[in-house]
């Protein structure tokens, strides 16, 4: 599942350049020309990251960034501010408005991609293309392969075949290992907030994921925390 970047930029040449390079880097890209259009788009497609120009027609990028941080649904979306302003005071204003990073124009496409990936690693580990290796389970976001080492029956490696939903669920849990996640949070981050499914759907897929991991002796890594939710942990439940 591609990481979606919402590009809010009113200069068409810059917008096209950004979109071209982001798509070449494997991102899904949605482009708009104003904060008003961006607000409508966020309601339709919740992006993984917003690349936001400061100087926009009508409502400024600063105002839009603040509105994102005030809405419970969007407050966790990473925001990178793009601007020609280079003064330290301007950078402080941009960061205090809720931006996670600040890039001044002109910038190189390589720097932009690197900064986006850095912000995603900090804010949304599950959106990164880095290989995860936790408790002998390795997941490669680029190839979508899941392999398991340190098998109970001996040394070696085995590929684990999962359904798309099981893969997304495992990827999210591993990217946030040791943290407890409620059913509501898993529904939002794994299924998406525009898909209507019941809380118990999470329980069903957790059981299926455990059954798949049980074959390779790793089912105990997916743990139930009573009254709270689920976590992926290398510690035994009795040790926590």
What pLDDT does residue 237 have? 58
- The residues spanned by each domain of the chain are 4-127, 132-239
pLDDT band at 38 (very low <50, low <70, confident <90, very high): very high
In whole angstroms, what is the distance from residue 6 CA to residue 15 CA? 11
**For 92-108, what is each residue's pLDDT tens digit?**
776 777 788 888 888 89
What pLDDT does residue 6 have? 96
Is 132-239 in CATH node 1.10.10.10?
Answer: yes
Write down the pTM of the prediction: 0.62
pLDDT band at 88 (very low <50, low <70, confident <90, very high): low
4-127 and 132-239 agree in CATH topology: no
What pLDDT does residue 80 have? 92
pLDDT band at 29 (very low <50, low <70, confident <90, very high): very high
- Fold classified for 4-127: Rossmann fold (3.40.50)
**For 107-116, what is each residue's pLDDT tens digit?**
899 999 998 9
Average pLDDT, the chain: 85
What pLDDT does residue 45 have? 81
Q: Average pLDDT for residues 117-131, to the nearest whole number? A: 78
pLDDT > 90? residue 5: yes
Q: Average pLDDT for residues 141-151, to the nearest whole number? A: 84
Mean pLDDT is lowest, of 17-31, 50-64, 132-146, 148-162, for 148-162
């Amino acid at each position: 599942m591609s990481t979606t970047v919402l590009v809010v930029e009113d200069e068409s040449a810059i917008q096209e350049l950004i979109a071209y390079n982001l798509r070449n880097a494997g991102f899904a890209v949605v482009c708009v020309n104003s904060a008003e259009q961006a607000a409508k788009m966020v309601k339709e497609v919740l992006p993984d990251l917003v690349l936001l120009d400061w100087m926009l027609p009508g409502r400024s990028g600063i105002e839009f960034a603040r509105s994102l941080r005030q809405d419970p649904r969007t407050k966790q979306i990473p925001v990178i501010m793009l601007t020609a302003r280079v003064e330290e005071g301007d950078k402080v204003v941009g960061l205090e408005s809720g931006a996670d990073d600040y890039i001044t124009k002109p910038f190189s496409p390589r720097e932009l991609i690197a900064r986006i990936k850095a912000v995603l690693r900090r804010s949304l580990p599950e959106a990164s293309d880095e290989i995860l290796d936790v408790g002998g389970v390795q997941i490669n976001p680029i190839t979508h392969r899941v392999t398991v080492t340190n098998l109970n029956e001996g040394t070696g490696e085995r590929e684990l075949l999962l359904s798309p939903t099981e893969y997304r669920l495992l990827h999210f849990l591993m990217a946030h290992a040791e943290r407890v996640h409620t059913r509501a949070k898993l529904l939002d981050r794994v299924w998406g907030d525009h898909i209507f499914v019941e809380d118990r759907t999470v329980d069903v897929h957790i059981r299926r994921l455990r059954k798949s991991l049980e074959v390779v002796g790793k089912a105990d890594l997916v743990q139930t925390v009573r009254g709270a939710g689920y976590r992926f942990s290398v510690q035994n439940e009795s040790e926590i």
